[in-house]
Amino acid sequence: MSAQPKVENDNFTQEHSDSSNKKVNLNDLMNRMNETKKQEKKNNIILSAAAISAVTVFGIILTL
């Protein structure tokens, strides 16, 4: 492990530091929000499927 922090989106930091002269683009913010919601929904479905599978396997093991 290195002592350097992870930088996931270097472009964001550059845009953020230069934002004093720029206007906020509402479409970009809405698109980012929608992408985040889609990713959260996908993660919730995967987590739910894993939980249901674990309960099903546990139930099958108990019936044997």
What is the per-residue pLDDT for 23?
A: 85
Helices (H), the chain: 10-17, 26-63
Parts of the chain with a pLDDT under 70: 1-21
Based on C-alpha coordinates, what's the Rg of the chain? Answer: 21
For residue 24, report the phi and psi dihedrals to the nearest 5 degrees: -80, 130
What is the per-residue pLDDT for 49?
A: 98
What is the per-residue pLDDT for 7?
A: 56
Q: Could you tell me the pTM of the whole model? A: 0.56
